[in-house]
Structure 1
Amino acid sequence: MATDIDTLVSMGFSLNKVLLSHPEVSDDPEEEVAPAQALGTPSAEPNLDEGEIMDGEQTAQSLICNDCQKLFRDASGAERHATRTGHQNFAESTEAIKPLSEEEKKQRLLELKTRLSEKRAAREQAEIDERKQAEKIRRKAGQDLTSVKEALEAKEIKKIYDQKRKEKEDEKVAKAKIKAQIEQDKKERAAKREATKQVHQAQAQAEAIIAAQPAVKKEYTDARLQVNIYIYIYFIRVPGAGPITHTFSATSQLSEVYSFLQTQGCANAFNLSTAFPRKTFGSEDQSKSLKELNLVPSAALALTYI
């Protein structure tokens, strides 16, 4: 930008106009600065032609950069050059900068406008590129954020899936344990039923064996008789006469029972009988044993007087 300012200044525009943000460009050159000799007229020397100066009386027409041999109209141009290039070696020069012709000014102005347009277009393009880059960065950040979000969601989904799978596996293991326990209980109940069945079968077999064996009839050696005394056939108990109880041998004859009762005060003629089954013993039964008459091991007899 400093080169453009130098160009404008060299074309005759004032520095104030050049530094404006939107200068009104004019093709009219500024008034030339009066040369230094105009400030004071040297004293005329004898024998000198008109306008001729002596050696050493030359005045500075410009400033020169000893680093790059570039000429500048004034100190402000040199300062801008020093700021742009870093050159610090400047000196006064008696060489005057040739003024630009109108055609050169127009050409320089056109070139300057072209450069300014190019710079403006480059700046606009740079701004567009910057906006595009910023948009790319924004999109990339959005994509990265979306990727991070999707990764977090995927991680969360995987965590939930793993938790569900673990719960299913735990449930499966629990069901397997319950099923195994049920099977074990079934086996234990079946074993108990089988054991009970075997016990019952053993008991049944034992009972069958016992039942198959011939019954051993118990032989009684005694007969306990209770004789109740009644009057006549109506079985009216004799007042004051209680039952007579006595134990006889199973082989004793019924006549021995009659004899015993007579000794107990039953002197009158009487008969003996059983209530159930109903049977009255006669004289033909007196020679039979109590066992033969089914009065063993005990029996209740009714004594009735004839």
Structure 2
Amino acid sequence: MGFPPEKVARALQATKGAGLQPAMDWLIAHPGDLDEPAGGQALGEQPSGEASGSANDGDEGEIRDGEQTAQSLQCDDCKKLFRDVNAAERHASKSGHENFSESTTAIKPLTEEEKKAKLEEVKKFLAEKKEMRLLQEKEEALSREKIRRKSGKELTDAKEKLEQREMQKLMLAKKKEKEDERIAKAKIKAQIEADKRERIEKREAAKQAALIQQKEEAAASATAASASKDYTETRLQLRRPSGPPLTHTFQATDTLEVVYEFVRQYITGPFKLSTTFPRKVFEDTEQGKTLKELNLVPSAALLISTE
């Protein structure tokens, strides 16, 4: 009938080898109880080592009042009888009844139809237990899968956050690099502009110097040309270190000493006279020469420098 050999041996031992029917009843009454200790006593059997009676107590096998043993369990709520504790527990779990008591009523043996029905009930019970176990395993698998997915999502989120932080660091580094490059380019551009302005200023200064030189050369040429003429007067412009220049007309035959005397009226202390271009400082030995001899006719510009 599909029962394992260990279970059959347990049933035969529990019923003391009373036969097929009692063993079958025990197997049906204990569908999933494999943890029950071996050598358990049969239903209604007294514990080992205790005699059911003695010759001094009366007739052999006689049960006195109050010495009846339990033959079944009774549900006090619905008055149903059950063969053992397991059957009573199944009834309690299905019906919710809680009040049970021992009964001396013996339950008659099962008929073949009842045995088949009982066997089907046992098979159904075992199938339900298997289904419950599979459902529980499925729920546990789903729970583990949820935990795995949650852990995976958390790991993915943490990885994405780390990548975002690294990307932000990279973007900040690139931004700083671009800013440094912009500042460096601006400095180079400013230096180029400064160099350009400096070159322009130098060219302008060179132009001005060339123009001045040309003017002075032209003035010198005009002076030299006019010197060949017979001028009786000359107009001198005397530039002082500070203040407006002194302008005066002298005779061409006047000596340089006359010019010194004229300047002493405005300058105190020692001084020297010199031409502007080409620059020539007159010495004391030249004060006796005439302005015509010194090429200061018909006009000239002299510088007054104090010592």
**Smaller-chain TM-score bracket:** 0.3 to 0.5
The two structures have a TM-score, normalised by structure 2, of 0.47
The two structures have a TM-score, normalised by structure 1, of 0.47
- Larger Cα-atom Rg: 1
